[in-house]
Amino acid sequence: MIGQLTEALCCLPGVGPKTAQRMVLHLLERDRDGGKRLSQVLADAMVRIGQCRQCRNLTEASVCEICASQRRDERVLCVVETPADLIAIEQTGHYQGLYFVLMGNLSPIDGVGPEELGIDLLQARCNAGVEEVILAVGSTVEGEATAHFISEMLATADVRVTRLAQGIPMGGELEYVDGGTLVHALEDRKPL
Amino acid sequence: MTSVHSAVWATKMSDELRPAWVLHSRKYRDTSLIVDLLTGEHGRVSVVARGARSKGGRLAANMQPFRLFLASWRGKGELKTLTRTDFPAPPIQISGQCLMIGMYVNELLVRLLVHTHDPLPHIVSGYGQLLSQLAAADKTNISRDVEPALRRFELHLLEQLGYGVSFDTDGSSGEKVLPSSRYRFQAGTGFVVTGEPEGYSGSALLRIDAGDYDEDRARVARHVTRAAIDDLLGGKPLVSRQMYRSLIAHSA
């Protein structure tokens, strides 16, 4: 059974057999209560957490907290690739609009097309009072393709489609910034 | 090919660094990537780029599709280990609809070049040329600027893989295609004479064979390459093609 538990823990990112064994022994020797709590919450979470039917973010409710909130600006929709990206933007405390989580990006070789990303759902949402869609996708080839695809699909909807600016990172010295970023930074320069 | 790309090819073979195109990369374990490469000497090679996503992900940022770079790798199995990299040329910038076409080409290569370690120098140089054309294409006139180049690449790829389509010969009788006859295309066999009026005209086929495309002939070539490629892929559709179609259908 100990072996089974060790093996099961190896499914976590960053956890190899050695770390898994340390975790198992820690729970068994020193923290049985913690272990019980973990097993209960984990079992519950795995069954009850699904996706928000408006933004596709992970939630145990049918509509997530952000989508249900009265204080958010419903006219702005920020499209992100993953829940982790959403959390990153939320942590800035700067964005007040709603989200749409793609749960990936367009990657045909991995079998991920528009359907997997719920783009039809995004289109439907854009017909309901949204004025601006901010594409907060990664600066990768797949992110670029995803942004292009979404902007084309929303071309007929009455929304403004924008994309996050790319440029010099905070505290970044030009000398160490890669060429591609510098090109974008030059192209997107702002008047002072 | 642009001069920068020729420069990359010129430096090849020094210290076992070989030119390679990135077709695709995906996350592997916590900090690594598995990268599919297209190389002239070894065909399609899959390598693990260890730690590519650590230290700010500098290497991961470079391991983007359509990137030409110099690579050396080691290992005996199917999956090699990337040992050294050099990036003498900046990435090719492909955007918009051309990017979708580029993704189609990469999916096609990954799907068709399975377990191919034969040298593919002609495919690789054709790929480089096609990407340069995609980067330089006039986005408002894809059908004129890009389609013929894409069709030529597909036909060339089929030929190099041993499934060439002959536009000037009747596949069943072995006779020359006649300008006045009509033909239908049968994957595996080629063009066959038909009495049906909706068949392809022999004169169009001969002009495609000579590389002379207009809108109609580009459509004929598209139907033919699609049938030949689908036959090779054994029924599993290309995701990028469906993606491209829904885009076209939406903008139409």
A147 falls within a domain: yes
Residues A44 and A75 in one domain: no
Residues A75 and A44 in one domain: no
Residues A36 and A120 in one domain: no
Mean pLDDT within A126-149: 93
Residues A12 and A79 in one domain: no
Structural domain that includes position A112:
71-163
Residue A27's H or E segment, with its range, is: helix A17-29
Phi and psi at residue B38, in whole multiples of 5°? Answer: -110, 120
Q: Is the pLDDT of residue A61 over 90?
A: yes
Residue B114, CB-side half-sphere exposure with 13 Å CA sphere: 7
Express each pLDDT in B212-229 by its tens digit. 888 889 899 999 999 999
Work out the mean pLDDT of chain A and round it to a whole number: 94
Express each pLDDT in A147-192 by its tens digit. 999 999 999 888 999 999 988 888 878 888 887 788 889 988 999 9
Q: CB under 8 Å to B132, separation ≥6 — which residues?
A: B1, B2, B5, B92
pLDDT of residue B2: 54
A113 falls within a domain: yes
Contact A156 B65 (CB under 8 A): no
First to last CA, chain A: 65
Residues A40 and A89 in one domain: no
The pLDDT confidence band at residue B6, using thresholds 50, 70 and 90, is low
CA distances from A155 to A133, A158, A160, A161, A167 (A): 11, 8, 9, 8, 26
Q: Give the residue on A whose Cα is nearest the Cα of B240.
A: A108
A13 falls within a domain: yes
- Nearest of B104, B97, B68 to residue B85 by alpha carbon: B68
Mean pLDDT within B42-58: 88
B-chain CB neighbours of A114 within 8 Å are: 243, 246
pTM for the model: 0.88
pLDDT of residue A178: 80
Which is more confident, A190 or B141?
A: A190
Express each pLDDT in B147-200 by its tens digit. 899 999 999 999 999 999 999 999 989 999 999 999 999 988 999 999 888 899
Cα(A20)–Cα(B131) distance, integer angstroms: 46
Supply the CATH number for residue A136's domain: 3.40.1360.10
**Beta strands A97-101 and A73-80: pairing type?**
parallel
pLDDT of residue B8: 57
Cα(A27)–Cα(A35) distance, integer angstroms: 6
pLDDT > 70 in chain A, percent: 100
pLDDT of residue B15: 54
pLDDT > 90 in chain B, percent: 62
Work out the mean pLDDT of chain B and round it to a whole number: 88
Contact A86, A99 (CB under 8 A): yes
The pLDDT confidence band at residue B74, using thresholds 50, 70 and 90, is very high
Which is more confident, B252 or B26?
A: B26
Q: Give the residue on A whose Cα is nearest the Cα of B23.
A: A109
Cα(B101)–Cα(B247) distance, integer angstroms: 12
Say what angle helices B121-136 and B96-112 make with each other, to 10 degrees: 170
* Best residue of B25, B246, B247 to probe chain A, by most A CBs closer than 10 Å: B246
CB-closest option in A113, A155, A178 to B243: A113
| Domains of chain B with bracketed CATH | 18-86 (2.40.50.140), 96-166+200-250 (1.20.1440.120)
Q: Is the pLDDT of residue A110 over 90?
A: yes
Neighbour-count burial of A81, counting CB atoms closer than 10 A to its CB (0-12 exposed, 13-18 middle, 19+ buried): buried
In angstroms, the separation between the Cα of residue A72 and the nearest Cα of chain B is 31
User: How far is C-alpha A175 from the geometric centre of its chain's CA atoms?
Assistant: 31
Express each pLDDT in A23-41 by its tens digit. 999 999 999 999 999 999 9
Residue A2, CB-side half-sphere exposure with 13 Å CA sphere: 10
Q: Is the pLDDT of residue B57 over 80?
A: no
The pLDDT confidence band at residue B3, using thresholds 50, 70 and 90, is low
Residues A107 and A154 in one domain: yes
Q: What single letter denotes the amino acid at residue B81?
A: T
* Best residue of B103, B111, B134 to probe chain A, by most A CBs closer than 10 Å: B103
Q: What is the DSSP letter of A127?
A: T
Q: Is the pLDDT of residue B114 over 90?
A: no
* Best residue of B34, B62, B109, B239 to probe chain A, by most A CBs closer than 10 Å: B239
Q: Is the pLDDT of residue B9 over 60?
A: no
Q: List b or e across A135-163, with b for residues whose CB sees 16 or more CB atoms inside 10 angstroms.
A: bbbbebbbbbbbbbbbbbbbeeeebebeb
Q: Is the pLDDT of residue B86 over 50?
A: yes
Mean pLDDT within B61-66: 92
Residues A159 and A76 in one domain: yes
Q: Give the residue on B whose Cα is nearest the Cα of A149.
A: B247
What is the ipTM for the molecules in this complex?
0.86
How many domains is chain A built from? 2
The pLDDT confidence band at residue A136, using thresholds 50, 70 and 90, is very high
Mean pLDDT within B116-125: 86
Supply the CATH number for residue A37's domain: 1.10.8.420
Cα(B12)–Cα(B15) distance, integer angstroms: 8
Contact A113 B239 (CB under 8 A): yes
A191 falls within a domain: no
- Looking at chain B, list the stretches that DSSP marks H as alpha helix, in order from N- to C-terminal side: 3-10, 58-62, 96-112, 121-136, 142-145, 147-160, 202-209, 215-233, 239-251
Residues A98 and A137 in one domain: yes
Contact B99, A145 (CB under 8 A): yes
A185 falls within a domain: no
Contact A100, A76 (CB under 8 A): no
A82 falls within a domain: yes
Q: Is the pLDDT of residue B93 over 80?
A: yes
SS (H, E, C) B192-231: EECCCCCCEEHHHHHHHHCCCCCHHHHHHHHHHHHHHHHH
